[in-house]
Amino acid sequence: MDPRIDIVDKRMEGVEKVVAVSGGKGGIGKSTLAVTLAFLLSKKGRKVGLLDLDLWGPCAHVIMGAGDVQPEEEKGVVPPEVSGVKFMSVVYYTADRPLPLRKPDFSQAVLELLAVTQWGELDILIIDMPPGMSDAALDVVRAVKKINFCVVAAPSRVVMETVDRTVKLLKEADVPVIGAVENMGRGRPLVKDQMKKLGVPYWGEIGFDPELEDSLGDAEDLLKTDFAKSLEEIIAKTKGFW
């Protein structure tokens, strides 16, 4: 067993809940949902951390407006706070350069980030996952014992095909899938019906918000969007979990 797994356990001791935000494909709003969820929960007084593990296309820092903040080193790495949320990402080490890594190297990078990050006391840690169930994603499942998954889906047959596979893999691995959020919804039953078949709670629909793009990079503007308001309603309906 990789010795870093034991280290990850110690790093997570002060974290009450872990929610991995996952989706079958990229481009469905997974990262935007993860960031907005973190901001909304922090606004409600929760101690929140956000870890961007989408190493292929990290963008949470752009959505957050993380700017020039940097982590500190103290027996590991202490994440900086961005608008009340502790934030950690590989971009602190790569800037905007792509990572020239093969798949096994991505897994090593994921484990290293999990092992070095000092979260301290958190009510909830949100993980922005890589799309689908790659080797790196499976390593997260193996390393983070208290992990729960929230699935982001869009009303597209192509998206639902990959979401279906993701959910089935998680269930086979006995990993809790706590709910599904439909993004860019159009009032159609596709996602809701498929989640019912998969035995995953359907948390609700977020419609397409044409103003969302202009709000990215500013936490206050983001929380004023219809996207954030819809997500806040979903949180209210599932408040027993948060």
Q: Given strand 48-52, what is the order of strands in its sheet? A: 81-82, 85-89, 48-52, 122-128, 15-23, 147-153, 177-185, 202-207
Q: How far apart are CA 90 and CA 93, in angstroms?
A: 6
**What pLDDT is recorded for position 96?**
63
**What pLDDT is recorded for position 137?**
80
pLDDT along the chain (242 residues), means of 10: 83 97 86 98 98 87 91 91 96 68 70 94 95 77 93 93 92 94 93 96 96 97 98 94 87
**What pLDDT is recorded for position 75?**
84
Amino acid at 114: L
CATH of 4-237, one of 3.40.50.300, 3.40.50.720, 3.40.50.1820, 3.30.1490.190: 3.40.50.300
User: Burial level of 95, CB count in 10 A (0-12/13-18/19+)?
Assistant: exposed
Residue with tokens 């706590």: 178
Cα dihedral 142/196/236/85 (nearest 10): 30
b vs e for 173-202, b when ≥16 Cβ sit within 10 Å of the residue's Cβ? eebebbbbbbbbbeeeebbbebbeebebeb
**What pLDDT is recorded for position 232?**
98
Could you state, in order of their start, the residue ranges of all structural domains in the chain? Answer: 4-237
Tell me how crowded residue 107 is: count the other CB atoms within 10 A of its CB.
21
**What pLDDT is recorded for position 98?**
57
The separation between the first and the last C-alpha atoms of the chain, rounded to the nearest angstrom, is: 32
Q: How far apart are CA 241 and CA 223, in angstroms?
A: 21
